[in-house]
Amino acid sequence: MAGHTDNHIVIDRPMDLVWDVTNDVESWPRLFSEYASAEILRRQGPTVRFRLTMHPDTDGNVWSWVSERTPDPATRTVRAHRVEPGWFKYMNLFWEYEEVRGGVRMRWVQDFEMKPTSPLDDGRMTDRLNANTVIQMQRIKQLLERADFRTEIQI
Let me know if residue 151 belongs to a domain.
no
Distance CA 109, CA 7 (A): 7
Compute φ and ψ for 91, nearest 5 degrees.
-150, 120
Instruction: Please state whether the predicted TM-score (pTM) of the whole model is above 0.85.
Output: yes
Number of domains in the chain: 1
- In tens, the pLDDT along 47-59 reads 999 999 999 888 8
Let me know if residue 68 belongs to a domain.
yes
Range of the domain at 107: 3-146
| Half-sphere CA count of 146, side-chain side, radius 13 A | 12
Q: If pLDDT is split at 50, 70 and 90, which confidence band does 153 have?
A: low
Distance CA 148, CA 127 (A): 33
The beta-strand segments (E) located in 12-155 are 35-44, 47-54, 64-72, 77-84, 88-100, 103-114
Mean pLDDT of 61-87: 94
Let me know if residue 152 belongs to a domain.
no
Residues 6+ apart with CB under 8 A from 138: 9
- In tens, the pLDDT along 9-59 reads 999 999 999 999 999 999 999 999 999 999 999 999 999 999 999 998 888
Which residue type, as a one-letter code, is found at position 74? A
